[in-house]
Amino acid sequence: MLKDDTIERLTEMMYELAGRTARRRILDTMDLLCWTPLAPMIRAARRARVHEQTRDLRMHQRAAEICAEVRDNHADLLVPAW
């Protein structure tokens, strides 16, 4: 018998895989729509998605740099006081 937490993790993994498959199908459909009169709207949607992902990545990099700087400059605050 599997433990309850193992079953939950497997269920979450299956949902994630199903979500990936659905997203892949949507992207394939969008690829096909690029050859129709809807192409300008598809390009705009893709461009917006790329800009959003780029913005998120830049924010993540900036936050990582700030955290690294704080860690380097204030390493003494990371040591427990007790």
Q: What is the pTM of this model?
A: 0.52
SS3 for 17-80 is: HHHHHHHHHHHHHHHHHCCCCCHHHHHHHHHHHHHHHHHHHHHHHHHHHHHHHHHHHCHHHHCC
The per-residue pLDDT for range 5-53, each reduced to its tens digit, is 788 888 888 888 888 888 888 888 888 888 888 889 888 988 998 999 9
What pLDDT is recorded for position 1? 56
